[in-house]
Amino acid sequence: MAKSTKENRKEEILEAGLEVFAEKGYYNATTAQVAEKAAISQPYVFRFFKTKEELFIAALDRAFERILQTFKNVEAKPDQLVGKMIEAYEELSESHPNEIAVQVIGISVTEKPIQDIAKKGLSQIRSYTLERFKTAGIKDSEREASTFLARGMLCNISYFLDLPELIDEKRK
């Protein structure tokens, strides 16, 4: 059995945070709920994250890091690039649904430090995608990249709101 080091305690709390934030949103999530899910006391959360905001930022940052990394790991010939990236996104949204939800939530949180992370995340995904599309010689890559991002965002929203019709163009 794995020893409970300081680092994996922090990891447990972050994971618990992701779950609670994904379900309740930022403002309705309480640090007591996070603690309960991590099976520790409420004050102990603050030994690892100075504030609730800091915990949310860690969660949001992880969500954006993972999706970016997922795209970076995609290997494909130019004409299959877009398809492969969509595939990668779909796998991610099944394997890490809480991180998708947290991305949606992060967008309308008004606390400046959180909003800044959301902006950075979206901005990075957009520029990485654009560069990748350009390199692959995709025509009208600016437009394709922003459409790609837009459709991805709408998928997230569709998932978060449980409104499948938004994107369900009868899966081929």
Question: How big is the site for its own copies, counted in residues (CB under 8 A)?
Answer: 35
Q: Is 32 one of the binding residues for its own copies (CB under 8 A)?
A: no
Residue 1 is encoded by which pair of tokens?
A: 């059995």
Which residue type sits at 114? I
Residue with smaller CB distance to its own copies, 18 or 109: 109
Residue with smaller CB distance to DNA, 31 or 98: 31
C-alpha torsion angle, residues 96, 14, 51, 99 (rounded to 10): 0
Residue 115 CB, nearest approach to DNA (Å): 17
Query: Phi/psi of residue 109, each to 5°?
Result: -80, 135
Task: Please identify, among the stretches 4-12, 61-69, 81-89, 140-148, the one whose residues bind its own copies according to the rule CB under 8 A.
Answer: 140-148
| Residue from 24, 37, 66, 84 binding its own copies (CB under 8 A) | 24
Q: Is 118 one of the binding residues for its own copies (CB under 8 A)?
A: yes
| Residue from 3, 112, 139, 170 binding its own copies (CB under 8 A) | 170
CA distance 82 to 86: 6
